[in-house]
Amino acid sequence: MTTPQLHSARETPVAGPAVPALAARAWDALGFEWIKLRSVRSNSWTVLIAALVTIGLTAIIAHSFAAAPGPPPGGPMTPLSESFLGYAEYTVIPVSVLGVLVFTSEYSTGLIRTTVTAVPRRWAVLAAKAAVTGTAALAIGEVLAFALFFLTQAILSGGHRGISLSSPGAPAAVLAAGFVLCACVLVGLGLGAIIRHTAGAIAATIGVIYLVGVLCLVLPPPWNVRIGRFTLPFAAYQVVARHSQPGLFSPGVSLLVLIAWPAVILVTAGVLLARRDL
Amino acid sequence: MSEPPAARGSGPGSAGVIEVDRLVKHFGPVTAVDGLSFAVRPGHVTGFLGPNGAGKTTTMRVILGLDIPTAGAALVGGRRYSGIIRPLREVGSLLDAGALHGARTAWSHLLSIARSNGIGRRRVTQVLQLTGLDAVAGRRTRGFSLGMKQRLGIAVALLGDPPVLMFDEPVNGLDPEGVHWIRELFKALAAEGRTVFVSSHLMSEMALTADHLIIIGRGRLLADTSTAQFVESSVRTDVLVRSPRASDLAELLTAHGATVEVQDDGGLAVTGMGAPAIADLAAGRAIAVHELTPRHPSLEQAYLDLTAGSTDYRAGPPAGDGTRRR
């Protein structure tokens, strides 16, 4: 026939155990999502630009604090929270949008059907996407959190206000700041899977990770704190700044809030993904 | 067609067979598939025909586990698709060639999918060569023509070297060379003993490619037959006769059992009698015959006749008032 390669092509490359172990299949699904994530170059560029903007902005903020004569005006700032002032707006939000796109870009192109024909177990698709994207976000978040911490403290120490990583609570706070990115990216990924349309899912994600908390600030006390402590911005602030403000959750409980939001959203996404026609 | 080699497939009996069993699929109030049953066997190119909206794509999506059936089942090799481990080694499919992330290269697209089913890089290179895409493997798919996207989709379908292949409208938008290439590819795949299931709304295309036809309309089975049989049984031939004494001839032929229809231009459309018999009768009565043409209405016409009652969207008459009837 005209395509003799078809047959000869069969021998080794496709061979493998008839029923591979669960671990091998999980590894395949993870590899699938990892190749897809890194083969869209704009993902890496977005992360890089977000990180550089955040670093630049943090340096400017730190300089202004270092130059200030007394304690900074406004809220109860600490050398720790000063490290992460630009982080929420310039890293967490843009990178969470990338989390949204993990699902919505597949829905908008129709690629989701290719994905599910390759990995028909839909919970496995969700788990693999969440694991790969979440791990990448955690790595980016931690690297950036430590970079921002050291940068800010180096600048602040010029004004003799810096703290070192050995200060009590500092390592946990910096680690938690990195984790905040992971939690918010997973919220975006889950909302993307639920809503399926990019614009709507981005709006919902920014709403959940940012606006709901901001809205709570305008509530009359004590409701602003009572409701606000369940939102992601309040929880993130608590785990990073480690303030024991009356009415707010402890850093430990706030960490649970940070875990609960993506967990609930991802489970909802999984239930819907398993039921829906694609 | 040669007999399919028995060695292909993994299990006995149902290996490589696609079985659709009393399948029903509702989308809200709309019934897309309405009690459809058929089987697609290895070693043949099976055409899946029906007008737009007949339920072809929905049926294929149910087979691939993408749509969840309202009732009934669709099995591949005796199993539900969603229960197959590393399914791309069992079933290759192309539903929508445009389903690509434009920022990804053809190579990355194939590599990711290969990875999902534990298929190595060498096979990715092979399918790129096989589909003639090796030269553009490193290019982003954003700039691909429809023909290149179709080839890439076929490369994906072939990745796992599967015994069963399904293609939804694969020739749409292809140039003649591409159509020819695809046709030969399908025949070669079937000749290797694979199950090749190809949907189309074009009878003319399927007549050239498929050796078995499954025709549906409004989600129901209209015909499940070999192409040759379909051509033979449903193509009604007639003979066009022109004569200066047309009315005498019409009377004579009718008296001998033929059915005669007088055309607008005065020609006689004769059915139920062959051209030689008509000529003999005319000669016997010394009636001059100026034209005697056996006519074979196109296969397309036979298909349109079959699906006439089950078309969802039909255009009004070309010169009509422009209204569309459901």
Q: Which H, E and C letters describe chain A, residue by residue? A: CCCCHHHHCCCCCCCCCCCCCHHHHHHHHHHHHHHHHHCCHHHHHHHHHHHHHHHHHHHHHHHHHHHCCCCCCCCCCCHHHHCCCCHHHHHHHHHHHHHHHHHHHHHHHCHHHHHHHHCCCHHHHHHHHHHHHHHHHHHHHHHHHHHHHHHHHHHHHCCCCCCCCCCCCHHHHHHHHHHHHHHHHHHHHHHHHHHCCHHHHHHHHHHHHHHHHHHHHCCCCCHHHHHHCCCHHHHHHHHHHCCCCCCCCCHHHHHHHHHHHHHHHHHHHHHHHHHCCC
Contact A277 B66 (CB under 8 A): yes
Q: Is B201 helix (H, G, I), strand (E, B) or coil?
A: coil
A117 touches chain B (CB under 8 A): yes
pLDDT at B314 over 90: no
pLDDT at B313: 56
Q: What mean pLDDT do residues B168-186 have?
A: 89
Q: How far apart are CA B300 and CA B309, in angstroms?
A: 15
With CB atoms and an 8 Å threshold, state whether B104 touches A16: no
Listed as ranges, residues in chain A with pLDDT below 50 are 1-13, 15, 73-76
- Percent of chain B scoring above 90 in pLDDT: 55
The answer to whether the CB atoms of A277 and B185 lie below 8 A apart is no
Judged by CB atoms closer than 8 Å, whether chains meet at A13 and B160 is answered as no
> Within an 8 Å CB–CB cutoff, is residue A118 touching chain B?
yes
What was the pLDDT predicted at A244?
63
Interface check A252 vs B, CB under 8 A? no
CA torsion, points A94, A40, A49, A238, in degrees to nearest 10? 40
Of all residues in chain B, what percent are helix, strand and coil, respectively (each to 5)? 35, 25, 40
DSSP-H helix ranges across B28-70: 56-63
**A19 and B112: CB-CB below 8 Å?**
no
Closest CB from B115, B160, B161 relative to A32: B115
pLDDT at residue B172 tops 90: no
Taking the whole predicted model, whether its pTM rises above 0.80 is answered as yes
Q: Is the pLDDT of residue B9 over 60?
A: no
Is A274 in CB contact (< 8 Å) with chain B? no
The shortest C-alpha distance from A2 to chain B (Å) reads: 7
Q: Would you state the pLDDT for residue B156?
A: 97
Is A42 touching B (CB cutoff 8 A)?
yes
Q: Does A8 touch chain B (CB under 8 A)?
A: no
CA A123 vs. chain centroid, Å, equals: 20
How confident is the model at residue B315, as a pLDDT? 58
pLDDT of B136 over the 90 cut:
yes
The answer to whether B155 touches B131, Cβ cutoff 8 Å, is yes
Among chain B residues, CA nearest to A36 = B112
Q: Can you give the pLDDT at residue A85?
A: 81
Please tell me which residue, B2 or B295, carries the higher pLDDT value: B295
Of B115, B87, B92, the C-alpha closest to A29 is B115
pLDDT in tens, B10-46: 444 678 899 999 999 999 999 999 999 999 999 999 9
Option in A29, A111, A120 nearest B81 (CB): A120
Tell me how close the Cα of A33 comes to any Cα of chain B, in angstroms: 7
Nearest beta carbon to residue A40 from set B84, B87, B103:
B103
Q: In order of start, what are the domains of chain B with their CATH numbers?
A: 18-231 (3.40.50.300), 237-296 (3.30.70)
| Mean pLDDT on B192-219 | 91
Q: Residue B73 pLDDT > 60, yes or no?
A: yes
Cβ–Cβ < 8 Å for A257, A232: yes
**Interface contact flag, B99 A25, Cβ < 8 Å:** no
Contacts with A, B 107-146, CB within 8 Å:
108-109, 111-113, 115-120, 122-123, 126-127, 129-130
Per-residue pLDDT reduced to its tens digit, B258-304? 888 888 888 888 888 888 888 888 998 889 999 888 877 667 777 87
User: ipTM of this complex > 0.90?
Assistant: no
The answer to whether the Cβ–Cβ distance between B116 and A14 falls below 8 Å is: no
Taking an 8 Å cut-off on Cβ atoms, the answer to whether A3 and B185 are in contact is yes
Residues of B in contact with A41 (CB under 8 A): 103
State the Cα–Cα distance between residues B173 and A159, nearest whole angstrom.
69
C-beta atoms of B118 and A111 within 8 A: no
Distance CA A65, CA A76 (A): 13
Q: Give the pLDDT confidence score for residue A100 in this predicted structure.
A: 96
- Yes or no: say if B138 and B107 are a contact pair by the CB < 8 Å rule: yes
| C-alpha–C-alpha distance, residues A257 and A229, integer Å | 9
pLDDT score for A250: 87
What's the average model confidence in pLDDT over B236-255?
Answer: 86
Asked if A35 lies within 8 A of B126 by C-beta distance, the reply is no
Q: Residue ranges per domain, chain A?
A: 39-68+77-275
A24–chain B Cβ distance below 8 A for any pair:
yes
pLDDT of res. B232: 75
Computed over every residue of chain B, the mean pLDDT equals 86
Q: What integer pLDDT is reported at residue A13 of this predicted model? A: 45
